[in-house]
Amino acid sequence: PAAMRYTEARLEKLTQDVFLSDLDKNVVDFVPNFDETEKEPSVLPVRIPNILVNGADGIAVGMATSIPPHNLGEVIDAVKAYMKDNTISVKGLMRYIKGPDFPTGGIVVNKDDLHKIYETGSGKIRLRGKVEVEKLKGGRKQLVITEIPYTMLGANIGKFLNDVASLIETKKTTDIVDISNQSSKEGIRIVLELKKDMENLTNMLYKKTRLEDTFGVNMLAVADGRPETLSLKQIIEYHVDFVFEITTRKYHTLLDKELEKQEVQEGLIKACDVIDLIIEILRGSKNREQVKKCLVEGITEGIKFKSKASEKAAAKLLFTERQANAILDMRLYKLIGLEILALEKEYRETLRKIKEYQHIL
């Protein structure tokens, strides 16, 4: 939990649709924020398994987690496949999720181990940078690294450049003329200018530098309140159960809202039919409370009526408390013929929505 100044951010459209939609429909519980001045969601109603898409990396007391990031489209396809057939195996899910999708690219060397890693939730992925050969004028060539292992990100790019420089200094290779980091926001581009074509140089870089590195996978997550190492299928399973729960809560909230509307609309329609009697009650009463007691409980004491028949009819109205409040708050223009028609149309729409939400639930 942190103060707003640490957590403030401008949100992407995706965030609005995927992380925050339906937050106003009681889909998750709200808890006090860090200084108890506001309420915040205990968990966001995320509609994708973000733990797989975004990856996770962190340590706690006696435990650590390291989940690689994955491709958004592939993960959604896998979730859909699980929803169509929840007996699908990890191998079946891997038809959609071929492997991790790191922002820095890279090539997974030990593809055959991926099945076991996704099955058990732990293991090691060997990652290699992607090296391309570019021809220069005068027949010379240069090696261009366009993708790097995820573990090389940040300060480790500098370490890689130092490692290559040290290979040149210690004369382990004499084929590199120059090395430069031309990476930009367009992507990674590390250029090694060569004297001549050198077949073994790429292999040497894989062996002697971090151009080939290991990413340790440990898919530990908090599941139902306790830490657990999960397989790929279990993560998707928990996610689908969670989405099922938030969707159920959403439609219960929408249904309750429409049922409230139905109650009020039925009261107003009934009130329009006996409006002369209601006006008589209003004119003969001393205060709002007296009117309310008459409308809800049929208590007519202390109210002046024009006739005994009116008093008898008033005792039989028996509106609900919500209906009585709506009648007392009603504006006079609502009694115009067209307004009554509009009210009946709204009522029919409310009934349609109630039927729809009950059907979904």
Q: How many CA atoms lie within 13 A of 279 on its CB side?
A: 8
User: How long a stretch of residues is the chain?
Assistant: 361
SS3 state at 84: helix
**Whether residue 6 lies in the annotated active site:** yes
Q: For residues 178-190, b (16+ Cβ closer than 10 Å) or e, as one string?
A: ebeeeeeeeebeb
* 185: Cβ contacts below 8 Å, ≥ 6 apart: none
CA distance 361 to 356: 9
Which two three-digit tokens encode residue 220? 């530990």
- Among candidate residues 6, 82, 238, 251, the one labeled active-site is 6
283 DSSP 8-state letter: H
Which two three-digit tokens encode residue 32? 């006090």
Helix locations, 89-138, DSSP H? 90-93, 114-120
Written as one string, the DSSP assignment of 125-189 is EEEE-EEEEEE-GGG-EEEEEEE--GGGSTHHHHHHHHHHHHHHHTTS---EEEEEE--BTTB--
Phi, psi of 180 (to 5 degrees): -145, 145
- Tell me whether residue 297 is exposed, middle or buried, using C-beta atoms within 10 angstroms of its C-beta: 0 to 12, 13 to 18, 19 or more: middle
Active-site positions?
6
